[in-house]
Amino acid sequence: MLPRLKATLVQEAQEILRLADRLNGDFETAAKWMLECDGRVIPAGIGKAGDIAKKFASTLSSTGTPSLFLHPAEAVHGDLGMVTSRDIVVLFTNSGETEEILRLFPPLRQIGARTILVTGRPHSTAARLSDLVLDVSVEREACPHNLAPTTSTTVMLALSDALALAVMQERNFTKDDYALYHPSGALGRRLLMKVTDAMRPWDDIATVGRETPVVDVLRAITSAGVGAACVVEPDRTLVGLISDGDIRRRLLESGADVLSMKAENLMTPNPRTVPATMTAVETLELFESLPQKIGEMPVIDDGKVVGLVMLKDLVRLGLR
């Protein structure tokens, strides 16, 4: 079985390389048309070619080129109404003779939309009707009977990715742009989420004054369900931080007398803090880079405490 698996992968890879070697000005023209299109790029196809067209529409949309998929059978029953003269319709058909595709050309011509054909037969009927033809022909399918669409669909898919990414790069589409279109994805969270989105806000954290007894500091930490208390002035200026670990260690060292001490006697003055403008992933990286591991950091905005960010909360968000 392994030799057969390898043979298929090698054959399909070789056909992709063969296509790369024969790219010409037509492929560049197609990319330029898509880049300059002030409407939408509308891929269309039936069957496996339709699946590739759907994926192409999805890739274009997520990389900065407005796009939607047009089902050829639905198109001739009203969905052609979504096409305008400013759009480019990219038609996928290996044979170039697919009836559902051929029926689209007369109305598309009347609408005024440009057409690009991605096909394995550059002299087919569809090719003669298209404004631009991209030849993705292959020598044979990986299927041992040369019947099942395999190599041809792989090459078609690879070309659609190449077109989408070429247009994306010419558009100067950035990681931030990508995250904007993927706010719920891992990358979106990495690039868009601020520490203020992940922190415990002021009303939900433990805050105490310099003179607060340590026993009350412990109550505040427990009540808030956090790992530390911010020691602040009345105007919310941070003066120190006391973690529950600090209290436990001092209890072991000095006994119960610690509980009657004041917060300022036990706090860590000038603790590590995070600016409110920092992203959540930058904050996670800061936590991980510290030589002495800590679990909490106050979040500061305009010199005032606005919240507390906890390492365990950042880890739970799955920012990696």
Residues paired with residue 243 on neighbouring β-strands, in sequence order: 228
What does each C-alpha distance from 175 to 63, 80, 120, 178 come to in angstroms?
A: 10, 34, 34, 5
Q: At 195, which helix (H) or strand (E)?
A: helix 195-198
CA dihedral 245, 237, 224, 194 (to 10 degrees): -100
Residues 275 and 207: their CA atoms lie apart, in Å, by: 18
> Are both 160 and 231 inside the same structural domain?
no
151-170 and 2-21 are packed helices; what angle lies between their axes, rounded to 10 degrees?
A: 50
Which DSSP letter does residue 302 get? Answer: T
User: Which pLDDT score, from 0 to 100, does residue 254 have?
Assistant: 78
What's the total number of domains in the chain? Answer: 2
Residue 107 tokens read as 């109305």
Full residue range of the structural domain in which residue 199 is found: 193-316
> Are both 302 and 245 inside the same structural domain?
yes
Pick the last residue of a domain from 145, 173, 201. 173
Helix, strand or coil, per DSSP, at residue 114: strand
User: Which pLDDT score, from 0 to 100, does residue 320 have?
Assistant: 65
Which DSSP letter does residue 149 get? Answer: S
pLDDT block averages, 10 residues each, the chain of length 320:
93 96 96 97 97 98 96 95 97 97 97 97 97 96 92 97 97 85 69 89 96 93 94 96 91 82 92 94 92 93 96 85
With respect to residue 212, please indicate whether it lies within any of the assigned structural domains. yes
The CB density around residue 25, as the number of other CB atoms within 10 Å, is 8
Pick the last residue of a domain from 173, 201, 233. 173
With respect to residue 186, please indicate whether it lies within any of the assigned structural domains. no
User: Which pLDDT score, from 0 to 100, does residue 185 have?
Assistant: 65
With respect to residue 28, please indicate whether it lies within any of the assigned structural domains. yes
User: Which pLDDT score, from 0 to 100, does residue 18 have?
Assistant: 96
Residues paired with residue 135 on neighbouring β-strands, in sequence order: 119
Q: Is the distance from CB of 244 to CB of 227 less than 8 angstroms?
A: yes
With respect to residue 278, please indicate whether it lies within any of the assigned structural domains. yes
Task: Record the pTM.
Answer: 0.70
